[in-house]
Amino acid sequence: MSKRPLLASFMAISLSWRWPFWLYAILTGLALLGVIFFGQETFYNRQIPPSEQPARGSRSLRLIGVEQWRSRSQRNSFVEAVSRSFTVLEKPVILLTNLYYVCIFAWLVAINATLPIFLTSLYGFGPKQIGFMYFAPVVAAIIAYILGHWLHDALARFYVRRNYGVFHPESRLIIVWLAMPFMLSGLVIVGFALQRHYHYMLVALGWGLYTFGMIINSASVNMYVLNSYPEASGEVGMWINFSRTAGGFIISYFQVEWVSRVGAEATFGTQAAICAFVFPIIILLQFRGKELRAWGGELNFKTN
């Protein structure tokens, strides 16, 4: 998310503000052509042996859906396919995880919506300086990706050793305890720095801290729901993406007005308080997640 404004700022300076939109349209068109010419049918029913899998048939006929129609008896009907998503959301751990995620991710978009205004009015930044500020979350995200790649699995292995070799999806949530302090401190620092006109490097530091914690948190949440219901990876991934998009979409409508009305300190402090308020959801899932999954029951999908 932070890479787009970073690149767009520099393109707006040297080219035009229209170029970021044109470039996005071009890349989307290239992605579509890539799917058409190189993409393959991904359907594979794990519940039947390889010898009984639907025949691949002609690639051109698969591209327009003819081969899929011929093997429709082995697939979900339209109603079954739609109902899968809502069946997944009925599971307590999925519902609670998405409630938690929508309450912590929205503030990443809130910072993006607020900072360009403050950086312009308080610090006299132009498009180039604002673009350079976006290096803070980009660097933080890179560090989080590199560190998280090893740390997530290391903590899961530690959990398995402590649990006599038994793996539970709840082991994926341990790292949230480490990520949450970065998020809370990041939001508080951004709010104080903007409200009290501290040096802009403190704004960058707070932004980076929150982004670092958010990336670690996102990986943990995604792995938890995927490990909880691996047979519904598409559906649980869809709901996580929905929560992320919904949170960012909603906050973008009132973030600037919120800051203007009560100030940055109160706004970002409240956002930090909301993150802390929903953290007990993670505690509940860690200690009662197994029981909640058992209470929610199996998915029993027609295909996996």
Q: What pLDDT is stored for residue 253 in this prediction? A: 85
304: tokens are 């996996």
Question: Which tokens belong to 83?
Answer: 């109902």
Q: Tell me what the pLDDT averaged over the chain comes to.
A: 86
Amino acid making up residue 172: R
Which range, 32-36, 42-46, 151-155, 289-293, is most confident? 289-293
**How much is the pLDDT for 29?**
94
pLDDT of 223-282, one tens digit each? 999 999 988 888 999 999 999 989 888 888 888 889 989 999 999 999 999 999 999 999
Residues 108 and 211 sit within 8 Å (Cβ to Cβ): yes
Cβ atoms of 63 and 274 closer than 8 Å = no
pLDDT at 6 over 70: no
- What sign results for the dihedral spanned by CA atoms 210, 280, 90, 174? positive
> What pLDDT, on a 0 to 100 scale, did the predictor assign at position 45?
72
86 vs 300 pLDDT, higher one: 86
**pLDDT number for residue 4:** 62
The answer to whether the CB of 98 falls within 8 A of the CB of 282 is no
**pLDDT surpasses 90 at 14:** no
Q: Tell me the pLDDT tens digit for each residue of 101-131.
A: 999 999 988 888 888 888 888 888 887 788 8
Say if residue 196's pLDDT is above 80: yes
- d(Cα 253, Cα 177) in Å, to the nearest integer? 30
How many other CB atoms sit within 10 Å of the CB of residue 167? 13
Whole-angstrom CA distances from 174 to 103, 108, 178, 276, 300 are 19, 22, 8, 16, 29
Residue 3 has pLDDT above 60, yes or no: no
Average pLDDT over residues 141-162: 85
CB atoms within 10 A of CB 148: 19
The residue among 259, 279, 287, 228 whose CA lies nearest residue 117 is 259
Alpha helices in the chain (DSSP H): 3-14, 19-38, 59-63, 66-70, 78-89, 92-123, 127-133, 135-162, 176-195, 200-228, 233-251, 255-262, 264-296
Q: Domains along the chain?
A: 9-83 (no CATH), 88-296 (1.20.1250.20)
> What pTM, to 2 d.p., does this model score?
0.84
Using DSSP's 3-state secondary structure scheme, residue 91 falls into coil
Q: Tell me what the mean pLDDT of segment 282-302 comes to.
A: 90
